[in-house]
């Protein structure tokens, strides 16, 4: 080896925890933009308004009771549209944007392990997506039916959906350049249409498992396959874990601009 200048400055190896913390802070700051927060908060407000409108309606005008309404609204609007769309915008943008704008190199060309970067990206997306989705969905549910049955069921199912979708879309953002387009296509075609038409498709969708939790806890049928609550939680969590792992592998192999 050739003569190399003696480093003037001291350094230490960067631990996985430090890598995670650094990555998390960077991504949280980069992903939150005023325009995104305003646009997606509007979506949350729409959910609350719809919940309020349904809750205020005279129950004699409605074909189902309040609990049924709350469950169906959560499945059709919240788990099928609100959670996946908000998750897509923020989660796919975490790594996707930094790759597109050339800032990924500031994390990539460093003596850092890849998996804490992937985990930091996931955690930062989750930090933003969870309050933007779960809060309005739960508020909407309370406005429809103030019982604790619906409240807890909606809280759990939306939280599980957020965990699963966020993992999938962080991975998608690291894999594809036009991740928003592909992600929307996936949400509409698979999560929206296919999973509501057949049990096999529902079994391969995040919405299927989140809906299953809702159904299991409230006793309201939502035209989907049925699994135990434990499986309903475990599968989306496992999807997120595998997605983080694949994101780390992808980071190791990606072409960085």
Partner 1 sequence: MSALPPPPPPPSADPGVEPMVQLTNVSKVFGDVVAVSDVSFAVGPGVTALLGPNGAGKSTLFRLLCGLTPPSKGEVRVLGSDARRDREVRGRIGLVGQEDGLFDRLSAFRFVEIAAATHGMVDPARVAVESLAEVDLDADDPKPLGSYSKGMRQRVKVATGLVNDPDVLVLDEPLAGLDPVQRRRMISLFHRLGDEGRCVLVSSHVLDEVAKIGSRVLVIAQGRLAATGDYRDLRGLMDDRPHRIRLSVDDPRALAARLIESGTAVAVRIDGEALVADTLDLDRFGRVIAPMARDSGVRLREVLPLDDDLESVFRYLVEGR
Answer yes or no: are the C-beta atoms of 168 and 90 closer than 8 Å.
Answer: no
Sign of CA dihedral 205, 210, 214, 217: positive
Q: Would you count residue 8 as binding partner 1 (CB under 8 A)?
A: yes
For 24, the token pair is 């998390």
Q: Which of 16, 17, 20, 30 binds partner 1 (CB under 8 A)?
A: 30
Please report how close the Cβ of residue 37 comes to partner 1 at its closest, in angstroms.
14
Q: Which of residues 74-103 bind partner 1 (CB under 8 A)?
A: 101-103
CB 169 within 8 Å of CB 218? no
- Residues 105 to 134: which contact partner 1 by CB under 8 A? 105-113
Told to check if 4 binds partner 1 by CB under 8 A, we report yes
Q: How far lies 196's CA from each of 79, 122, 191, 243, in Å?
A: 12, 28, 8, 24
Question: Between residues 43 and 100, which has the closer beta carbon with respect to partner 1?
Answer: 100
Q: Closest distance between partner 1 and the C-beta of residue 98, in Å?
A: 8
Nearer CB in complex with partner 1: 4/56 = 4
Which segment (19-27, 155-163, 173-181, 225-233) binds partner 1 by CB under 8 A? 19-27
Binding site for partner 1 (CB under 8 A): 1-5, 7-14, 18-19, 22, 26, 29-30, 101-103, 105-113, 255-257
């Amino acid at each position: 080896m050739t003569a190399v200048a003696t480093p003037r400055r001291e350094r230490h190896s960067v631990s996985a925890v430090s890598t995670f913390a650094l990555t998390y802070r960077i991504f949280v700051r980069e992903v939150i933009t005023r325009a995104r927060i305003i646009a997606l908060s509007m979506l949350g407000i729409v959910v609350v308004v719809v919940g309020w409108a349904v809750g205020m309606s005279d129950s004699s005008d409605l074909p189902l009771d309040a609990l049924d309404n709350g469950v169906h609204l959560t499945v059709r609007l919240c788990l099928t549209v609100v959670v996946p769309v908000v998750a897509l915008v923020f989660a796919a943008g975490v790594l996707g944007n930094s790759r597109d704008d050339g800032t990924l190199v500031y994390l990539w060309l460093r003596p850092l392990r890849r998996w804490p970067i992937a985990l930091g990206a996931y955690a930062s997306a989750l930090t933003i997506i969870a309050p933007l989705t779960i809060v309005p969905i739960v508020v909407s549910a309370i406005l429809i039916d103030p019982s604790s049955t619906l409240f807890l069921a909606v809280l759990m199912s939306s939280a599980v959906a957020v965990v699963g979708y966020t993992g999938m879309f962080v991975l998608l953002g690291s894999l594809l350049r036009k991740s928003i387009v592909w992600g929307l296509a996936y949400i509409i075609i698979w999560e929206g249409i296919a999973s509501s038409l057949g049990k096999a498709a529902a079994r391969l969708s995040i919405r299927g498992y989140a809906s299953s939790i809702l159904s299991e806890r409230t006793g309201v049928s939502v035209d989907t396959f049925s699994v135990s609550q434990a499986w309903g939680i475990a599968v989306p969590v496992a999807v997120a874990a595998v997605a983080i792992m694949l994101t780390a592998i992808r980071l190791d192999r990606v072409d960085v601009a």
